[in-house]
Amino acid sequence: MFRKEVKSVGELILKNLREQGLETPLQQKRLMAAWPEVMGEMIAGYTQDLFIKNQTLFVHLTNPALRADLSMMRHEIVKKLNAAVGSQVIADIRFN
Length of the chain: 96
Per-residue pLDDT of the chain (96 residues; tens, 9 = 90+): 567 788 888 787 777 767 776 678 889 999 999 999 999 999 999 999 999 999 999 999 999 999 999 999 999 999 999 999 998 999 999 999
Q: What is the pTM of this model?
A: 0.79
DSSP of 2-14: --PPP--HHHHHH
Q: How far apart are CA 58 and CA 51, in angstroms?
A: 5
What 3-state class would DSSP assign to 56?
A: strand
Sheet with 92-95, edge to edge strand ranges? 47-53, 56-61, 92-95
